[in-house]
Structure 1
Amino acid sequence: MMMPKGSYLSPKLLDLLNTFEEALAGRLKQLKPADREDVLRLSWMKSAMESLCGVHTDIKTLITALELPVADWDDKWIDVYLNNSVNLLDICIAFSSEISRLKQSHLFLQCVLHNLSNNSPDQFIRARSSLDGWKQHIASKNPRLDNCFSVMDNLAQTLDLPKIKNSAKGKVLMRAMYGVKVMTLFVCSIFAAAFSGSAKKLMDLQVHDTCLWADAFTDLQIFVNTETRNIYSSGKITILKELEAVDTGVKKLYPIVQDGVDPVEAEVLKNITSDLEKSAEIFSKGLDLLAMEVDGFFKIVLTGRDALLCNLRVGGNVFDHMGASNNRERQAVR
């Protein structure tokens, strides 16, 4: 499958493949965090999903450039593409559900801050109740995430696509799709580990070293997976850095709210409340931006699937219709 010795590709096809793989290598290198503390920050997860969107857009561009009519697609390729797209849509739905659940926790914190800003006799009782609600909400589990691991296992089982014997364009397509699946599995594995609270199912993918992006991927995977496992082994409640900052603020605030405040501690309460408000806002905004990227990825997968199904019915190149639609949208924006 990985272009064994003796396989021939024309200069044009080889250039298309190399351009795709070099772009993938560049995205992987850019995704490696500059510092270990950046691993699994919401900002890094946003960048990871943004890169994944870029790779899936690149494969559509490659398929269009290959000028490979859908009629020439092997049934196995189509089945793999459609099955994988369904799995990815399921994963996106699960991730979006978890992001929404985490965003809901912000409501509890807003109630805490609102209660503490009032000088009512029961302000501390109300604030403590909201803090308890936040703790229970964060500790709860999202059943939608349980399906993610089995879906990713299914994707991993189809990582090595069928060998292509009589189609040079098919060989390029399969090798490029292999790179897309590897990066997709890596990013989804990290997200699932971050959201589920478990590193047990974190994937360590072994990739073909003939790919131009292999070294960049291996370097990134070792760095991120190692740090992720280290964070979990430390016993932290979460590996999301922004959520950890909020949890730290809650732990500082809770005993003060529980025991009440004397005049000497009033300034301490004010500082802790201010810090919690800032960290809660950063967490909420980070989730909003991440939600937008996950939604964008969902749309890319969905439009790709729809384009293939459309062209199966009417013929033509796989992404011709979608490309025309995108061009019209870009012209409308201009």
Structure 2
Amino acid sequence: MSRAQEPHRPFLLFGNPFRMILPKGSHLSPKLLALLNNFEETLAVRLKKLKPAEKEDVLRLSWMISAMVALCEIHTDIKTLITALELPVSDWEDKWIDVYLANSVKLLDIGISFSSEVARLKQGHLYLQCVLHNLSSGSSSQFVRARSSLDGWSKHIASKNLRLDNCFSVMDSLVQMLDEPKVKNSSKGKVLMRAMYGVKVVTLFICSIFAAAFSGSPKKLMDLPVPESYLWAGEFMAIQAFVNTEIRSIYSSRSFTILKELEDVDTKAKNLYPIVQEDGLVPNETGVLKQSTLDLKNSVEIFSEGLDDLTKELDRFFQIVLTGRDALISNLRIGGDAFDQVRSSNSGKNLVR
């Protein structure tokens, strides 16, 4: 970007959705309190481990993979908590079911959007493979094809993924749903809603980072305030401030991408392009060509491996969310009446990978 981005204002301007889910005077049994504390303490540990050691680590594919691994672990933690609460599906209030199913559909949509962007980047990788293949012979007759592939890479990587626009609107709607339903007569329900709030906040934060990395814009970064009463609040606010500040700083000084492996590959491709402009090489350019080709090859390998690993974690996240949703729907079918109440608004949505 040619100029620094203004700090993004918090999305949450619609009242105070961060009130305590457990109001003053509420009491939990020792067992429930232990389950809740264990969940929140574990969430704090996961956030602490995720914080990049150095600014340079922010938005490397390796760190984004770690972020997705952490997100998978956190969503597995909430499934474990639900099991430990021994809260029968018949005791779930309709509004809890609506929130859970609506959120899960939106998370699946986001996962699909991110996976489509990774797939698009992999398609661009094919152009670079053609470049390396054409230059491997060392014959200047292959330069025309190499130039064509480099042009194809540049055009492809500069194109936009329209599916990301859908992802942005879905994320905005999730922010509007952060305010969990009030729970009046169920201590287990209060624990569940409080834990789910933490999962949603961290999920939105990580998804907003991916959105910034893939879209080429920091506009969708989220600055989410969290009350200090949550045991994970301190670690969350620390990593959010660290990562968001660094991303905005990077965007203020770069015009192409902040995904660092992608930027490295593009730089190596641009370095190679002038060398293959002519159909013949003078002797002192031969060594330059070989070194530039090797540099591109090394960067492409790192980039490709990172995309493969990120794809695996995105698929794992999709499956974790999908299986949790399917398990609830399956139990609702057994209950019959409860399922009929939510089927019309949730089960008619088709998911296409």
**TM-score between the two structures when normalised by the length of structure 2:** 0.88
Q: What is the rounded CA distance, in whole Å, between the counterparts of 1:247 and 1:263 in structure 2?
A: 26
Any residues of structure 2 matched to 1:1-334 within 5 Å, and which?
A: 1-259=20-278, 260-315=280-335
Task: Give the aligned length.
Answer: 316
Q: What is the rounded CA distance, in whole Å, between the counterparts of 1:189 and 1:45 in structure 2?
A: 12
**Displacement after TM superposition at 1:180 (Å):** 0.3
**Displacement after TM superposition at 1:123 (Å):** 1.4
Q: What is the rounded CA distance, in whole Å, between the counterparts of 2:249 and 2:157 in structure 1?
A: 21
The aligned amino acid for 1:146 is D
Classify 1:258/1:223 alpha carbon distance in 2 versus 1 (closer, same or farther; 3 Å): same
RMSD over aligned Cα atoms: 1.2
* Aligned residues of 1:198 and 1:232 also touching (Cα < 8 A): yes
Q: What is the rounded CA distance, in whole Å, between the counterparts of 1:261 and 1:163 in structure 2?
A: 73
Gaps of 5+ in 2: 1-19, 337-353
**Displacement after TM superposition at 1:121 (Å):** 4.4
Q: Percent identity between the aligned chains?
A: 73
Q: What is the rounded CA distance, in whole Å, between the counterparts of 2:77 and 2:34 in structure 1?
A: 14
* Aligned residues of 1:53 and 1:297 also touching (Cα < 8 A): yes
**Displacement after TM superposition at 1:236 (Å):** 3.3
Q: How big is each residue's C-alpha offset from its partner over 1:87-121, in whole Å with a ceiling of 9 and x where there is no partner?
A: 01111111111001101111111111111112444
The aligned amino acid for 1:15 is A
**TM-score between the two structures when normalised by the length of structure 1:** 0.93
**Displacement after TM superposition at 1:22 (Å):** 0.4
* Aligned residues of 1:59 and 1:180 also touching (Cα < 8 A): yes
**Displacement after TM superposition at 1:265 (Å):** 1.4
1:325 paired residue number: none
Which shows bigger deviation, 280-289 or 200-209? 200-209
Q: What is the rounded CA distance, in whole Å, between the counterparts of 1:315 and 1:226 in structure 2?
A: 48
* Aligned residues of 1:2 and 1:208 also touching (Cα < 8 A): no
The aligned amino acid for 2:234 is D
Secondary structure at the counterpart of residue 277 of structure 2 = helix
The aligned amino acid for 2:332 is L
Q: How big is each residue's C-alpha offset from its partner over 1:171-199, in whole Å with a ceiling of 9 and x where there is no partner?
A: 00000000000011011111111111111
Which shows bigger deviation, 253-262 or 99-108? 253-262
Secondary structure at the counterpart of residue 87 of structure 2 = coil
* Aligned residues of 2:140 and 2:281 also touching (Cα < 8 A): no
Q: What is the rounded CA distance, in whole Å, between the counterparts of 2:335 and 2:324 in structure 1?
A: 15
Secondary structure at the counterpart of residue 53 of structure 2 = coil
The aligned amino acid for 2:319 is K
Secondary structure at the counterpart of residue 122 of structure 1 = helix
Q: How big is each residue's C-alpha offset from its partner over 1:200-224, in whole Å with a ceiling of 9 and x where there is no partner?
A: 1211111122100000000000111
After the TM superposition, which segments of 4 or more aligned residues of structure 1 sit over 3 Å from their partners?
none
* Aligned residues of 1:112 and 1:130 also touching (Cα < 8 A): yes
Secondary structure at the counterpart of residue 183 of structure 2 = coil
* Aligned residues of 2:111 and 2:318 also touching (Cα < 8 A): yes
Q: What is the rounded CA distance, in whole Å, between the counterparts of 2:203 and 2:87 in structure 1?
A: 24
Q: What is the rounded CA distance, in whole Å, between the counterparts of 2:231 and 2:138 in structure 1?
A: 64
**Displacement after TM superposition at 1:281 (Å):** 0.6
